[in-house]
Structure 1
Amino acid sequence: MSSALHLDGLRKSFGKTEIIRGVNLEIPRGERHAIIGPNGAGKSTLFNLITGRFPPTSGKVRLHGHDVTGLAPFQINRMGLSRSFQITNIFPRMSVFENVRCSLLWAQGYRYSFWNLVSRSRALTEGTHRILDQINLTARAELPAGVLSYAEQRALEIGITIAGGADVIMLDEPTAGMSHSETDYIVDLIRTVTEDKTLVMVEHDMGVVFDLADRISVLVYGEIIATGSPEQVRANPRVQEAYLGAALEAEH
């Protein structure tokens, strides 16, 4: 199976402080992969290196075999990778429908055509409704996005993330701050919308991780100390010592 993402010797330093210390990781197409680790392990920094927000100090990032190291985030996005953020990133005064429609514009070929009236585009409207149906927000389409519940706003952001047609989806803490029922709703949504896509997620909720992930990588102090199936990671003594035991105890 060919890889969707391949990280080769990835390092990142801020001044004299090395945050990411030689990460090597290969994620096959279609895999759901979770990155876990304690606070300060470098998980968000690693996400930012992959998506082009930060340039690496050294090493390579390959997307579907293409070297994307040092490319701008919008260039990487156009090559098929899209991400969400820890903090909900929507346009609160625009309607739910308009939020999704904006994210579809580039994928539908509109580019920078100011004379196009997007409201008249049947393909754009149908595509927007299709995404809204996927994320269970059709009934909320005309509401301002800012009045949605927290879980619904996260669902909208996931809809925005997938709207451009990317086949590699990166989600940063998708269930952070949610109740059990909200978490169940988002987990079911993620499972549905990432079917046949590659999912890479950072997540602290071990129940979510073990429910969704095909494989898990454990990042500690900027290094991956283990990668394997949920069962393998759960049973790994080094992971238990460094992170997993304390994380599981904290949930009970």
Structure 2
Amino acid sequence: MDRIALISDVHGNLTALEAVLADIDARGITRIVNLGDYVGKGPRGREVIDVCRERCEVNILGNWDDFLPDPARVIDSEGLAWWLAQLGEGQGEWLRSRPFSHDLLISGRWLRLFHASPVSVHHRVRFDHDEQQFLGMFANTPATGDGPAPTVVGYGDTHDPFYEVAGRGLTLFNTGSVGNAMDDPTPVYVIVEGVLDALEPAPFGVQFVRVPYDAEAEIAVAEAMGMPELDGYVAELRHGVYRGAVNGPRYHRAESRGARKVIR
């Protein structure tokens, strides 16, 4: 059985990334795919990029990776200007050149990985989607290309891990977030297990792993570096409460479904 670790939404949280990578190493997993959003929200986007370039077999484009270093974007906030200034030479170009998606064959299933949706890194599909949105996640688009349509799709973006199976065996899962997990602020990643490149059906699994880490150490780094919007970051790392619910909407919008807060 082959195993691949899927990480996503590190968002400049180097302490969380190092804890997750240590857990991956302890399990003997050598293949890692990153589903994007290396930067923004946390203090050490530059260092996170360096580590992911070294450790991840595939690095996929995220929405923050696309819009933050966009030369056409007007920087209209202290936070955005600060996070952009943290990038090292050439890192902005590297982020924006990441592939949109990554396909592979495992245990007779076509698996497609992307950041947010097959339409765009800026088109969000949440856990409370409808049937049309669910089926749309398995579609080929100009962004994904015309390869075999996937039967399994994994994505990140919403920081809200879930696993869902519907008609015809279509399987959709969200990896959650390594560096900016909501509700439960413990970093989470996914292990996909199966037989790579196998056309015939074989055992296949999706496992979610939570990895405790020293959130206070990361908060101390952000404070020492003078990162803007620190109060919102502290609320997210300590309590899993989205900053939009604390400070009002800014870069995303927080909504509630019952007592559950989700990010947009």
Whose relative contact order is higher, 1 or 2, with alpha carbons under 8 Å and at least 6 apart?
1
